[in-house]
Structures are given as structure tokens and as C-alpha cells.
Structure 1
Amino acid sequence: MVRAALSAIARVRVTAIYAVALVAVATEIGRLGPDAQDRVIRHASTNLHNLSHGHVGTLLGSAFVVDAGPVAYWLPGLVCLLGLGELLWRSGRLLVAFAVGHVGATLLVAVGLTAAVTNGWLPVSVARATDVGISYGATAVLGALTPAIPRRWRPTWVGWWLAVAAAVVFIGTDFTDVGHLAALLLGMAVATRFGTPQRWTRPLLVLFIVAAAFGFLVLASAEGTLLQSATSGLAGALFGTAFTVVRTLRQPTTVHPPAGSLDAAAGLGVP
């Protein structure tokens, strides 16, 4: 039994190590006073102020500092999402997806904010905004699940998530919503190079349900966006399903000739 447990943990070792690290960091921060906690979060933030002063270490450190409430609220969902990604794609590819989403979305948001501040579209104070957590990396892993979705359901999956993320960007006022959309697209893009995923099993389907619910809550976490983003997601899913139906109907069918005909003897089908 112990050997089986160790073998199972080894298959999701990246997820397990990351979860332990998050709990350890959250525990240490929780022991600090409110002012000290604020200082830690400010120093770990990947905001324009820190990045412009050469604090590139925040690109890594920010992934271990979470200000989204008690660990018990978000860690189980995160573990299910990352664990699913690791079981489907293996540890190395999970790391690639998470890193590309976390770092890539952060830098893309930084470029956009720099342009917005320079042109006066946003106040200078946004340069010191708090930006820490696991949401960019987690959203990228969510997007990286796309090639593992069965082909006939893939457009529905893509339509749902793109519509949800886009709706939150349109409704919300937080730049992190744009980062989530960027991370989702980055995850979808990088996973096209991952090859063949592991086969789906019932335990993976259970993880999938929890992971999808967690991913939706990450994207639609802003106040007042839950219902609108869900409605938009349903519309996107219906569009994706319609795309699948139309594509299926347009596929040519092969009519096999009767046995003994010249075409059958030649091994040819009649279109």
C-alpha cells in the first residue's frame, strides 16, 4: 500500500512539490502582521514598478505568493487541475505550460500596462498594483488541456473557455482579466507541441470535472461576472458545437460498390 501511494505521488510529483511549497509560504506569511504581509506581497508582485527596477525574480517568486484567501479555499481545486495536467502530459510538459502561461502572460500584461500608462489611458498608480498568485499559470494549464479533449468535443471546449475569458475582460475592470485570457491562449498554443496525451480514465474524468469548475472560478472571480461569463460561455460552447456539426456534415462519405463490381475488384470507392 505504501509503495502504491509513493508511486501515485511520483506521477504527480511536480503538483505535490508545488502544493507543499504553497502551503509552506502561506503558513509563513500568515504568521506575519498585516503590515509585514503587505510588504511581502508588494515585493513579490510582478508590477511595473518592480519589473522596471530589475526585480525579475518576481517572475518566479510571485507564483508562490497567493493573496486569494485561506489555502483551503483554492488549493484543492488547483491540485486537481495541475494533477490532471501532469497525468495527461507528464511532469515536464506541465512545467512548460505553467511557466509559459505565468511568465508569458505577466510580460504581455506589463507591455500593455506600460503603453497604457505612457499614453495616459491608466493612472501611474497602476505601476504599483499587486500582482501575485497562481492564476496565470493555472489558466495556462487549463488551456493546455485542449489537445487532450476528444476531437469531436474540442470546438465546444474552446468555444466555452474563450467566450468566458473574453466576457470577463469585457465586463471587468482589472488588468489581470486580460492576463487570464492571454494565459489561456498561451496554454492552448504551447500544448499543440505536446504530442499524444495519456488515455482518459474514470479517475481522470473526476479530476477533470473539479479542474474545470476551478478554472471557471479563477476566470470569473471578479465580482458581478459569474452569471454573465457563464452565459457567454454557453453561447461560445453552442457555437463550437455547431461548428462540429457543420464540419461533420460537410465531410465526404465513401460509398462502397457492390461485391463483384469492377470498382470493388480494383479496390476503388465511388465518391
Structure 2
Amino acid sequence: MLAPVKGPRISQARSAVWAYVRSAPGTYLWLGILCATTVAVHHMSPAFEHEFLRRRSTNIHELSTHPVRVLAASAMWTGGGSWLPYAVLYSVFHAQAERWLGTVRWLVVCGAAHVLATLISEGALAWAIADGRAPASAVHTLDVGVSYALAGVVGVLTYRIPTPWRYPYLAAVLLLFAYPLTAGATFTDLGHFVAVLVGLACHPLVGGRQRVRNPKETGAVGPG
């Protein structure tokens, strides 16, 4: 027997991947920036990396002096570690949300979750410092990354899932993000939970999008 020709299948797979990437341009542009910044961090010395990221961190000190700059800059760094988990999470959650909501509404959800979760969690930390429950040095605590925006998108995707499966998904999400609050919660744990609630509060942006937005996803065809 002749071996099956793999060329056309590989070409089709590449076309499918490229089509998926093009359907969520904001997600993969952001992911590309994160790839570049992650590589950059890996080439920094530990001492330089800490100072570099601190100036781009949404800690209390930087928020009080350069709020707009650090709110934007902090969303472009992963804080080190591996980039591949972000590639998976962005493809599973962000890409789906952007394809469903459209780029503008998806960005609104990401921005709202990132900004509100940051301000509320850092406000809680400032309160703890003022109350003596956290050291004064905590005003410089490193806080960069994209997890708040991701948590917000995880929350808003609740409305993408049809009933009755929506409710187990929602219960699992709330349990996943609420549990850390019961066991030695940090300000980032609070931020993640707030971000999920912000995503759920973005229900008005979902209007008319409870069903699949793109007819190609259902095989439906428009009028000829």
C-alpha cells in the first residue's frame, strides 16, 4: 500500500490554525507582546529584573505616582516564568471571548477587570498597611501580569455557555477563585476574585451574543 499523502493535511491544519489566529487578532497580538517581554526578562540579571519590573508594577507606590503608565505597562509582562502556559490559556479563554464578543467588547472586559481588580486589591493592601496588618514595605510589592484580565474573561464566558451547563461552570469558577480567600488570602487572591465578579458584571456587553456570533461556527449560511 502507498503511504497516505500528508502534505494536504498539513496544509489544511496550518490554514485552520492561521484562520483561528486571524479570528482573534487582539488576543494573539497581546500574546506576541508577552512572548517578546518574557524573552527579554529571561535575559536580565535578577537584580536588574526586579527593579525593572518594579517600575512597571501596579504597586501602591507606582500607582500613586504614575497610575496610567503602570496600569498599561503591567499588562505587558508575565513576571518571568514560562510563556507556553499563557499561549494555552489565551487560546482557550481570550480567543474564544474575542471571537464571540468582538475585539472592542473583549478589550472592555479585559480593561475593566484589570483596572478595577488592581485598584481594589491594592486599596485593600493599603488599608492593611495603615491598620498595621501588613508591613510598610508592602507599598513596593511587585504586581505585574495578565491574570486579572484573564480572570475577568473567564467570568464573562459564563454567558457563552448554554444552560444547563452554564451553572456548573459558574459554580466551578466561583469555587476556584473564592477558595483562596478562605485560606490565607493575599491581595492578588482578592484581585482575582474581584476580576471574576467584574467579568460577570459585564453581562450588558453580551447582549445579542448569547448564541454563536459567527455563522461559520454553526454551519449556517446567509442568503444567497
Unaligned runs of 5+ in 1: 205-271
Asked if the contact 1:47–1:110 (Cα under 8 Å) also holds between the matched residues in 2, the reply is: yes
Tell whether 2:33 aligns with 1:21. yes
| Structure 2 match to 1:140 | 152
| Structure 2 match to 1:199 | 212
Kindly report which structure 2 residues correspond to 1:160-179, keeping only aligned pairs within 5 A, or say none: 160-179=172-191
| Structure 1 match to 2:3 | none
Tell whether 2:70 aligns with 1:58. yes
Summarize deviations over 1:124-177 as a string: whole Å, max 9, x none: 121111111011000000001011121323232222211221111111332100
Shift in Å at residue 195 of structure 1? 1.3
Distance 2:196 2:80 in 1: 20
Given the two structures, how large is their TM-score scaled by the length of structure 1? 0.68
Shift in Å at residue 74 of structure 1? 3.2
| Structure 2 match to 1:77 | 89
Q: 1:73 to 1:49 in 2, by over 3 A?
A: same
Kindly report which structure 2 residues correspond to 1:115-154, keeping only aligned pairs within 5 A, or say none: 115-154=127-166
| Structure 1 match to 2:24 | 12
Given the alignment, which residue of 97, 106, 109 partners 1:97? 109
Distance 1:60 1:160 in 2: 30
AA paired with 2:130? T
Shift in Å at residue 200 of structure 1? 8.8
Larger Rg: 1
Distance 1:5 1:161 in 2: 28
| Structure 2 match to 1:111 | 123
Q: 1:27 to 1:71 in 2, by over 3 A?
A: same
Asked if the contact 1:145–1:191 (Cα under 8 Å) also holds between the matched residues in 2, the reply is: no
Kindly report which structure 2 residues correspond to 1:23-62, keeping only aligned pairs within 5 A, or say none: 23-62=35-74
Q: Identity over aligned residues, as a percent?
A: 28
AA paired with 1:170? T
Asked if the contact 1:41–1:132 (Cα under 8 Å) also holds between the matched residues in 2, the reply is: yes
Q: Secondary structure of 2:185's match?
A: coil
Distance 1:155 1:6 in 2: 33
AA paired with 1:56? V
**C-alpha RMSD of the superposition:** 2.4
Summarize deviations over 1:56-83 as a string: whole Å, max 9, x none: 3110100111125121233222232111
Given the two structures, how large is their TM-score scaled by the length of structure 2? 0.82
Distance 1:72 1:35 in 2: 24
AA paired with 1:199? V
Asked if the contact 2:31–2:86 (Cα under 8 Å) also holds between the matched residues in 1, the reply is: no
